[in-house]
Amino acid sequence: MDLGIAGRKAIVCASSRGLGLACAKALATAGCEVVINGRNREHLAAAAAELKKTGAKVIPVAADVASPDGQKALFAACPEPDILVNNNAGPPFRDFRELDRQKMLDGVTGNMIVAIELIQKVIDPMVARKFGRIVNITSGSVKAPIAGLDLSSGARAGLTAFLAGVARSVAASNVTINFVLPGIFETDRFRSNVEATVRKRGISYEIALKERVDAVPAKRIGNPDELGAACAFLCSAQSGYITGQNILIDGGAFPGAF
Ligand SMILES: NC(=O)c1ccc[n+]([C@@H]2O[C@H](COP(=O)([O-])OP(=O)(O)OC[C@H]3O[C@@H](n4cnc5c(N)ncnc54)[C@H](OP(=O)(O)O)[C@@H]3O)[C@@H](O)[C@H]2O)c1
């Protein structure tokens, strides 16, 4: 399917590895010019080299997306993106009793405020150009709790509710705001979550992994490219009538029909 976005400019935050990288790859394959981002320069350079194989223009920006300077660097590389994919690391696995005020503020900043700040900067030019696609990578935990990821779930649910109204306010200008909610995907973040379970319960990695996979009706871990493809579709020319939606990509793990 031709997604109709060849030549569009995209910023994909936190995209040197994992789900962000998969989204950047799918957009680059669709012909977009892609700004990719991460703090570690080596990982970022490796990701840029991989993405350039698609033939797309790829601009790596080594920066912390959560910092004002990092955001400035992203917009210096691409002042008026047509597409913004919001992504960032999530807070570490932790019992909620261990969270002090600063940790909570950092979590809410990283998984809610940063995305809103970036959207504030891109949305009016998108409205003026009558095209904009914003996709926020959140988590299946927005819909179904995961003990230990309470801060992550809370901040992302806050982002979801905040943007629900914003999405409707720009829909008439062909600017859409949607969310992809990953279940379990084969990434460094997922592996570190499994390792936290291993430490907490004193079980082997294989058993901890099997427990997670057994809970998924598809009986497997997601491939990041599967999420990347869904993200690229939500950024496509054809997806202009989909907005304000939370798309679970979780192999059926969420047990509800709605
Ligand atoms: N994988 C899953 O199963 C899963 C499930 C549910 C939700 N999620 C959520 O989806 C998001 C992506 O997860 P993932 O599994 O792809 O993580 P990952 O494999 O750990 O990759 C995270 C990426 O973000 C970059 N990054 C992290 N902090 C950054 C910052 N402050 N500024 C710029 N770049 C930053 C990392 O590069 P540097 O470290 O070099 O900066 C890396 O490229 C996370 O919020 C995660 O909680 C993942």
Instruction: Give the model confidence (pLDDT) of 199-249 as tens digits.
Output: 989 999 999 999 999 999 999 999 999 999 999 999 999 999 999 999 999
Q: Is the model more confident about 9 or about 94?
A: 9
- Provide, rounded to the nearest whole percent, the portion of the chain with pLDDT above 90: 94
Taking all residues of the chain, what is their mean pLDDT, rounded to a whole number?
A: 97
Residue 92's pLDDT is 85
Find out whether the beta carbon of 243 lies less than 6 Å from any atom of ligand 1: no
Residue 10's pLDDT is 98
Tell me the whole-structure pTM to 2 decimals.
Answer: 0.97
**17 CA distance to ligand 1 middle (Å):** 7
Average pLDDT over residues 107-124: 98
Kindly give, in sequence order, each residue whose CB lies less than 8 Å from that of residue 134, ignoring residues fewer than 6 positions away.
Answer: 83, 84, 85, 86, 119, 122, 123, 126, 175, 176, 177, 178
Find out whether the beta carbon of 86 lies less than 6 Å from any atom of ligand 1: no
**82 CA distance to ligand 1 middle (Å):** 22
Residue 191's pLDDT is 94
**51 CA distance to ligand 1 middle (Å):** 18
Find out whether the beta carbon of 24 lies less than 6 Å from any atom of ligand 1: no
Instruction: Give the model confidence (pLDDT) of 22-66 as tens digits.
Output: 999 999 999 999 999 999 999 999 999 999 999 999 999 999 999
Instruction: Give the model confidence (pLDDT) of 65-82 as tens digits.
Output: 999 999 999 999 999 999
Instruction: Give the model confidence (pLDDT) of 89-112 as tens digits.
Output: 998 888 999 999 999 999 999 999
In ligand 1, which atom is closest to the CA atom of 184?
A: 3
How far apart (Å, rounded) are the C-alpha atoms in residues 48 and 53?
A: 9
Residue 147's pLDDT is 87
How far apart (Å, rounded) are the C-alpha atoms in residues 139 and 137?
A: 7
Instruction: Give the model confidence (pLDDT) of 125-164 as tens digits.
Output: 999 999 999 999 999 999 998 888 999 999 999 999 999 9
Residue 157's pLDDT is 98
**250 CA distance to ligand 1 middle (Å):** 17
Residue 12 host element (H or E) = strand 9-12
Tokens representing residue 17 in the block: 């590895």
Residue nearest to atom 27 of ligand 1 (CA): 89
Residue 32's pLDDT is 98
Residue 93's pLDDT is 83
Residue nearest to atom 31 of ligand 1 (CA): 64
**173 CA distance to ligand 1 middle (Å):** 31
